[in-house]
Structures are given as C-alpha cells and as structure tokens.
Amino acid sequence: LKDQFDNLDKHTQWGIDFLEKYAKFVKERIEIEQNYAKQLRNLVKKYCPKRSPKDEEPRFTSCIAFFNILNELNDYAGQREVVAEEMGHRVYGELMRYSHDLKTERKMHLQEGRKAQQYLDMCWKQMDNSKKKFERECREAEKAQQSYERLDNDTNATKADVEKAKQQLNLRTHMADENKNEYAAQLQNFNGEQHKHYYIVIPQIYKQLQEMDERRTIKLSECYKGFADSERKVIPIISKCLEGMILAAKSVDEHRDSQLVIDCFKSGFEPPGDFPFEDYSQNIYRTISDGTISTPKQEGMRIDSKTTVGKAKGKLWLFGKKPKPQSPPLTPTSLYTSSTPNGSQYPIFSIEPVHYCMSDIKTGKPRIPSFRSLKRGWSVKMGPALEDFSHLPPEQRRKKLQQRIDELNRELQKETDQKDALIKMKDVYEKNPQMGDPSSLQPKLTETMSNMDRLRMEIHKNEAWLSEVEGKVAARSDRRHSSDINHLVTQGRESPEGSYTDDANQEVRGPPQQHAHPNEFDDEFEDDDPLPAIGHCKAIYPFDGHNEGTLAMKEGEILYIIEEDKGDGWTRARRHNGEEGYVPTSYIDVTLEKNSKGA
C-alpha cells in the first residue's frame, strides 16, 4: 500500500503537470490571436488612405469598396482580440488559479498520508522494541534458571550460593513477565493502529485525492468547452464582417468610376485640327511645268536662301525645335490652259498653286498640340497654385471655383448663424442684466460681421472668376461649333489650343489665297518680320518659364503684348531684345493700344 501511495502521488503530480501544459497551450494560442490581430490592424493602417479633410481626390467605387473591406477587416481584427481576451479571462486565468489551488490541496492530502504512515511506523517500532526486550529478558531468565539448577544439584555448592541463584532466577522471571505484558500491550496497540491506518485513514486520504483528480478532469472539460465557446461567440460578428466585404465587392460600379475619371480629367480644351497633306513632289511637277510651259519668274518674289519663311528664334515648339528640310523657293501660283489634239481646253495647274497654298498656310503661327500637357503640369512646375486657379484647364478651373464658392457659402452660413445667436444673447442680456453684460458681446459681434463681409467679398470675387470661365467655355464651344459647320481655316494666328485671332494687324501678308483649305497645318515657320505689338504689360508676379515655349519674367518687368489671351489663360509677349514666348495672363497687368502698328 505504501507503493500505491507513491503511485498516487505520481499520478496527481502528472495531472497537475498536464493541467499546466494545457494552460501553456492556451497562453500560446492567446499570443497567436493577439499577434494576428495586431498584424491585421497594422496591415489596415498601412493601406488606409491618409487624406486631409480638404482632399478632393475622386472617390472611385473600387476604392470605396477597398476602404470598406479594410474597415471590415479592422473589425475582424477586433473580434480576434475579443477571442484572445475571452480565452485569457475564461480559460487561461481560470486554469492558473485552479492549478494553484490544486497544488495546495494535493500537498495537504499527501502530508496527511505521510503523517499517518509515520504514526504507524512509530507504533510498529514501539511494538518491535518491546518484543525485543521481552525476548532478551526471557533469555536472561532461562540462563538464571539453568544456573540455579546447576548450583542446586552441586553438592559442593554452599547454601548461600544456592539462595543467591534462586533470587536471581525469581528476579529475571519477574522482569520477563513484565516485558511480556508490555509487549502484549504494544502489539495490541499496533494492531489497532494498523487496522485504523489501512481501513480508515488511508482510504479517506485516497478518496480525497480521487475527488481532487476528478475535479481537475472536470475543470479541464469546462476549459475545453470555454475554449471553443470563445471562438463560437464571435462567429456571428465575423460573419457580418465577411458579408460586409461581399457587399463592398458588389458595390463596385465600373460605369460610375469611368464617369468620375471623365469629370476629373475633363479639361474643356478643343481637340487639335487635322494635319495637312505635305506634297514632296513639287520639284518633279516644277520640272515638268518648266519643260512644257515657259513661265518667267519674278526676281522680286525670290526668297533669300539664308532666311526661311519664319525666324528660327521665334519657334515655339513644346519639345524643342522641329527640324525639317527646307523647300526651294517657288513663284506664286498661275493658272494655265492647254489644248488637246481635238481642240478641247482643260486646266493645268503648275507646281506654283501647291506652293502658294503651302506658303499661305505656313504664315500662321505653329500650333502646339501638346501645349495642354504643359498647362496641366503647370501647378507642379511653377510652385504654389494660383488663387483664381488660372493654372488649371477651363473645366477643372470651373469645378475648383465652384467648390470654393460652396465652401465659402457654408462658412458664411456658419457666421450668419453665429451672428444671430449673438444678437439673441445680447437681447437676453439687455432684458436681464443679471445674466451678463451686453457690451461684452460687442467685440465678438463685430468680429463676426467683419468675417461675414470678408466672406461675401471672397464669394463675389470667386463668382466673378467663375462667370469669366463659364463665358470663355461657352464662347469656345460656340466657336468650335461654328468651325465644325464651316470646316474652313481662318487666316488669323493660332493660340496654343488652336483658337484664332481676327486682328488684321497681327496677320502677315502673303500671296492672295484662292482656295480655302479644310485642314490646319502645323509647321515651324513664322514671318520674316516680328509680330507688331498691340500693347504692353507689367509683370505682377515672377515667372520662371522653364517649359519650352514660355517666357521667363521678373516682377515689375515691362513686356510687349503681341497676341492676346484667347481664353486659355496664356498671352504671347516679347522682351525688348526680341525674345518671345507665352506668359500666364493672371501674372501680368495688360494695357492694350488701339490700332497699334508696332513697338
């Protein structure tokens, strides 16, 4: 039974170790859940948009859906934290407390068993000592009896020796009887304690250990269930998170995203015109014409080979100058007729008409089709955006101004509500002076009214800019509509967006044009003579002019105006040294001169 006690000791220790092992498992699972939730939150934080309140980035449905998915994922991470917290409180914490109590109870029961065993061992030792003493006294008594009998049979022994041996025998016999009685008493006591130990004390201790172990098993079962319940409780919320992700995926609308892209990047500029046909067979036709019909060429119409139709320094190409092989100078157009062998007449055009059309078109200022991209990147390259958004394309400028007007109206409404509240409070103070001093509200009321006046001025200024933009966009639309109906090319100069000027003073006189051409040509040629100045301007702000086709200027610098703003926000100007280029209209103060013929 002692060995069984030791076995029970080992078993109960194993039970507690297993309990602590499962508690360690739960702790590691909690750490995994916490790390998982933390990593999910970091992931959400990493991909969440970091926008300021004034951010006007278009909200595409795909982006909104992704942001909603991130929010649902953040809620999902919160549920993982709930699982970890529930496991820590309901399972791990309970296991650790119960393990401590279990160790204390087991220690108490084992101590009781050891005490009972020690008491039984003590009784056995007492009984064994009395037994050994009784045995020793019996041997001594036997020796005394043998000595007495030997002396009693010895005739030579004296009577005194015989009496002494008899007294010794009686003494040993008496001591043996006393030890016998003591041994009998100790044996009876030991048998009683041993019976009590094995039938009462030890079974009671074993029963307590058994109950303790069964409670440990029940606690493990409850913890297993709590472990699963912690996960099951959050399943409905996790399901809602997943349903939210599915709804976010279904909310993606490709047509709405496309419309947002259109609204975001719609500039309002006109598309470029048609490219012209360039006839490189002029020399061949000219040779044939010279061989068939002799046409004297006027020396006055010959163009110097050192100078082209336009000056190279005035070329305003966005990505650099556009080199092209120069065509040989040709004479103005002439119309000839030729007769067939049967006498019929038919018209023959020499190479001169083609050259005439080409040269007449080349007198126009070269268009820069990609100039829109220059202005789109204007706000990035030139620095801070302008107050009137003149650096933006017309359509985007109109949207920005409308948004600013709406914001100013909201601020004005807030100030108006605040003014009404202050007036009401002032009336209350005047009627009930004990509530407050009415004069204390006057500074705040004055400040509010000043803010309202300032906001009204800002609204009026922005509305004026908006009206200007809307007027230019409407005029551009009308001009484009008229151009589509007529499909003719005017003789004026082109602005960077393809608009034309009708000022005759800005035209370069060339040979008379006989036929209108339906296409527009882009070339690098300009007139031999510089364009006349139609006014002057003063730079209000400095402009770096890093882009090709622009003109740098300093604040306060005086420039000549050679072409007005055609609604695109750019004015063509020239310095005193002859350098030309485009400058932002909003950066200059323009003064136009009527009927000006030159600088």
- For 205-219, the pLDDT digits (tens) are 999 999 999 999 999
The closest alpha carbon to 479, from 375, 363, 566, belongs to 566
Q: How confident is the model at residue 150 (pLDDT cuts 50, 70, 90)?
A: confident
pLDDT value, residue 59: 78
* Candidate from 66-75, 206-215, 324-333 with smallest mean pLDDT: 324-333
CB 573 within 8 A of CB 543: no
The tally of CA atoms less than 13 A away on the side-chain side of residue 411 is 18
Mean pLDDT of 429-449: 85
Assess contact for 180 and 134: CB atoms under 8 A.
yes
What the block records as the tokens of 224 is 């297993």
How far apart are alpha carbons 230 and 87 in whole angstroms?
A: 6
User: What's the rounded Cα separation, in Å, for the pair 568 and 374?
Assistant: 12
What would the pLDDT profile of 216-234 be if each residue is shown by its tens digit?
999 999 999 999 999 999 9
Q: Is the sign of the CA dihedral 285, 291, 293, 299 positive or negative?
A: positive
Copy the structure tokens of residue 132.
């050994």
CATH fold of 535-592 reads SH3 type barrels. (2.30.30)
HSE on the CB side for 482, CA within 13 Å? 10
This prediction's pTM: 0.47
Q: How many CA atoms lie within 13 A of 260 on its CB side?
A: 15
* More confident: 8 or 327: 8
How does residue 342 score in pLDDT terms, banded at 50, 70 and 90?
Answer: very low
Identify the top-confidence range among 264-273, 339-348, 484-493, 536-545: 536-545
pLDDT at 362 over 50: no
Among the ranges given (208-217, 334-343, 554-563, 576-585), the one the predictor scored with the smallest mean pLDDT: 334-343
Looking only at Cα atoms, what is the longest distance across the chain?
207
Q: What would the two tokens of residue 261 be?
A: 């892209």
Beta bridge partners of 572: 563, 582
pLDDT at residue 54 in the model? 53
pLDDT given at position 58: 55
Q: Is the CATH number of domain 4-260 3.40.50.150?
A: no
Establish whether domains 4-260 and 535-592 are of one fold: no
Q: Give the Cα separation of 471 and 502 in Å (integer).
A: 19
Q: Where are the domains of the chain?
A: 4-260, 394-475, 535-592
The fraction of the chain above a pLDDT of 70, given in percent, is: 70
Pure H helices in 158-201: 159-196
Residue by residue, DSSP assigns 28-61 as HHHHHHHHHHHHHHHHHHHHS----TT------H
